[in-house]
Amino acid sequence: MIKRFDNEEIEAVTKFIKNASFLSGYTNKYLGGEEIQRFEKEFANYHGCRYGIAVNSGTAALFVAQKAAGVGKKDQVAVPCITFTATTSQVLACDATPCFIDIDETSYCMNYDFDNDSINYAIPVHLLGHPCRYEMIKKMRDEGIFVIEDCAQSMGAKYKGKIVGSMGECGIFSFQETKHITTLGEGGMITTNNEEFAEKCRRIRNHGEYYKDDSSVGYNFRMTDAQATFGRVQLKKLPKIIATFRNNALYIINKLPDAIIPPQIPKGIEHSFMILGCKFNEKIAKVDRTAFLNKLTHNRKKILEDSESDIKGINQKPGKVISAGYKTVQYKVPLYKKYAPKKKCSVGENFVNSSLFIDIHRWRSRDEIKEELEILHDTIHQFSR
């Protein structure tokens, strides 16, 4: 297991706590404390943007960004049919209507076709570490659509040199513990080049108390300075973290059994490999995906018993590090069913039925990866004999 944190993070937070003035920060500055402001600037610079606005989660970032953009009743917001639930739930939280869009077969990202003139906002998701097509985002903006990039799973990814979070009007990021970097388990960031929009986000984040004559509602979505201190150290390590993810993922891709089809990485794509999104070919494997995964879990029993930590937590035993991925398209989730499109998203539905998510490449040593791959191949062979 690769050590995810070290003394540098611990020492930075300890130093901050020992030296922090409890009269600073949000008690008298709507901008937040010095550590938050430094983290915001450094994170924005890394992603090619002028402004960063730190919040307490990626979900909060989605809500704040939409509120600052003016999303409300009667607005339709384009979201991909394959994404984490927060992308959709925060559209509803803003009293708007989600409009589900199919994905493309290569990136699994939104494949917007521009046949709906009523859409004025969009949240393309850079899924699993693969960036959306910049050409699509640019055309959205040219058509007058306000684009909020959901970069929660793809920090540092690039499309033909353009880094995620800098292509639309703004980008949102998550620092939840499973993401590329974390701010003590939870946290989020909004990036933008629009100064007025950044000011609106800051106001919404912090009760609007700095804007005494403003009539809009503010909230408490603040990040703490201790989290920002931790995040600043993590950000310095991000290039190395992404390189580790990429190297391990590419190693796995070259050694997968034929029944597991890896993602296609076109030229010009710098994938950040949050998850290795593959497809399972039941004909080649001679077994259905559910039976295969059940057998794989059984064959990993020794690892489950012997291990003390896992990529999905700091001190949790590893569970299903190879899984069926997203269980359904968004519009089949009970809460979202009434927003189902008239025409089903066929690529998205096929993806749900065949996807296989592999995350054994994150925070693992090469020896651990080899052990997992050996179990994976042995499990396949048990069905193909």
Q: Which two tokens stand for residue 264?
A: 């296609």
pLDDT at 69: 97
> Is domain 7-235 in CATH 3.20.20.70, yes or no?
no
pLDDT at 214: 64
- pTM of the complete model: 0.93
pLDDT at 311: 45
**Sheet harboring 276-280: ordered strands across?**
260-261, 276-280, 355-358, 322-323
CB environment 296-311: b (16+ within 10 A), e (fewer): bbeebeebeeeeeebb
pLDDT at 215: 65
pLDDT at 280: 96
SS3 239: helix
Q: What is the DSSP string of 63-87?
A: HHHHHHHT--TT-EEEEESSS-HHH
Where in the chain does DSSP place strands (E)?
Answer: 51-55, 76-80, 97-101, 119-122, 146-150, 158-159, 162-163, 170-174, 188-192, 260-261, 269-270, 276-280, 322-323, 355-358
| Residue 60 burial by Cβ neighbours in a 10 Å radius (0-12, 13-18, 19+) | buried
Q: Which two tokens stand for residue 185?
A: 């388990």
Alpha-carbon gap, residue 152 to 262, rounded angstroms: 21
pLDDT at 3: 76
**45 close to 37: Cβ distance less than 8 angstroms:** no
Domain boundaries, the chain: 7-235, 238-384
pLDDT at 93: 98
pLDDT at 179: 95
pLDDT at 21: 62
Q: What is the CA radius of gyration of the chain?
A: 21
pLDDT at 314: 40
Alpha-carbon gap, residue 366 to 2, rounded angstroms: 9
Q: What is the torsional sign of CA 249, 255, 260, 265?
A: positive
Kindly report, residue by residue over 318-367, the tens digit of the pLDDT.
456 889 999 999 999 999 999 999 999 999 999 999 999 998 898 888 99
pLDDT at 317: 43
pLDDT at 208: 67
Residue numbers of the chain with a pLDDT score lower than 50: 23, 28, 309-318
pLDDT at 292: 95
Alpha-carbon gap, residue 225 to 39, rounded angstroms: 9
**92 close to 98: Cβ distance less than 8 angstroms:** yes
pLDDT at 114: 86
pLDDT at 32: 82
Class (C level, CATH) for 238-384:
alpha beta
DSSP state at residue 287: S
Kindly report, residue by residue over 178-224, the tens digit of the pLDDT.
999 999 999 999 999 999 999 999 989 988 665 556 666 889 999 99
pLDDT at 70: 96
